[in-house]
Structure 1
Amino acid sequence: MLLKSEIDLLRAVPLFAGIEPSRLKLIAYTAETVMYRQGQVLCRQGEQGDAAFVLMEGEADVSIAAETGDFVVASLKTGDVVGEIAILCDVPRTATVTAKTPVSALRVRKEAFLQLVRQFPEVAAEVMRGLAERLSHTNAELVRARNLAAGQGGGR
């Protein structure tokens, strides 16, 4: 019964929307359902990435460490995917993800995620779309931060 609900939840996630139910069953079967309490860390910046997470329920904050403390760069909600950068680029985690509310997520291991991207071009396209949106948002935030710094720095 739990597998069916996971399949239904996966079907509602844009990343998996184009995949037929039999393939979704395989994803749900190989993924691990994980639960996090409010304030608990899903993954930490700098750690080796061994899985991506699909938020099935709840909200989480994505933050990066700065000299002045952690800086929240994004908020995640049900259906969002996080952790794929470390897997796709084989680099340490680029940010820390912390549950803002209780979170239920599917943890998709690296090899299963990579196989999914290889087998389904629509998944690869959706991953690229999500990454492009995040990059665009980050660029806008950098411009905003630069403008604020220039305004506060005086007229030098």
Structure 2
Amino acid sequence: MTSLKDEVDALRRIPLFANVSPQKLKLLAFTSERMSFEPGQELFHQGDIGDAAYVIIAGSAEILVDTPDGQLAVAEVSENDFIGEIAILCEVPRTATVRAVNRLETLKIMKEHFLRMVAEFPEMAVEIMRELANRLHRTTMELTEARQHRRNGT
């Protein structure tokens, strides 16, 4: 059985929460829900309403997007990754499906608790922007590479 201290330690390893006081992290951990997922089980599905974000404590999951040809794996996430925040920040449906690759341990942070932390700690907003900008940069680079391959016929 894990302790509240273990969950606080897990949150502290996420860059987004690194500068948040231990007391606030303890409150966030206390209001969060520890969840386990078996291989193949979905955390959430593309198009679902975003009600929470997840900290991955152990294991890995694949990020899948729906295409006309079926689901396409676009990324994999693992320990210390933070996922699901786009839907709760932008108030849009889930942009992808997340499915456990192996046994997955997560900490589920409900939307209202997460948004309260962002409001109380503006430095979290900067970290969120940095992370989203990094993801956008990686996606742009991958799209550019894919288009070049398509043009070159490779």
* TM-score (norm. length: structure 2): 0.94
Other-structure match for 1:149: 150
Q: Does 1:15 align with 2:27?
A: no
Q: How many Å separate the matches in 1 of 2:74 and 2:54?
A: 17
Q: How many Å separate the matches in 1 of 2:91 and 2:152?
A: 38
Deviation per CA, 1:52-81, whole angstroms, max 9, x where unpaired?
A: 111111111111111122112221111111
Other-structure match for 1:91: 92
Q: Specify every segment of 5 or more residues in structure 1 that has no aligned partner in the other structure, as ranges.
A: none
Read off the aligned partner of 1:64 and give its amino acid letter.
V
Other-structure match for 1:34: 35
Other-structure match for 1:54: 55
Read off the aligned partner of 1:31 and give its amino acid letter.
S
Alpha-carbon shift at residue 9 of structure 1 (Å): 1.4
Other-structure match for 2:7: 6
Root mean square deviation, CA, Å? 1.4
Query: Which segments of structure 1 move beyond 2 Å, counting only runs of 4 or more?
Result: none
Q: Structure 1 vs Structure 2: percent identity of aligned residues?
A: 46
SS at match of 2:147: helix
* Aligned residue-pair number: 153
Alpha-carbon shift at residue 38 of structure 1 (Å): 1.2
Other-structure match for 1:75: 76
* TM-score (norm. length: structure 1): 0.93
Q: Specify every segment of 5 or more residues in structure 2 that has no aligned partner in the other structure, as ranges.
A: none
Alpha-carbon shift at residue 5 of structure 1 (Å): 1.1
Deviation per CA, 1:130-151, whole angstroms, max 9, x where unpaired?
A: 1111111111111111112212
45-54 vs 59-68, which deviates more? 59-68
Read off the aligned partner of 2:19 and give its amino acid letter.
G
Deviation per CA, 1:113-156, whole angstroms, max 9, x where unpaired?
A: 11111111222112111111111111111111111221229xxx
SS at match of 1:70: strand
86-95 vs 117-126, which deviates more? 117-126
Contact 1:73 1:138 (C-alpha < 8 Å) held by counterparts: no
SS at match of 1:124: helix
Other-structure match for 2:117: 116
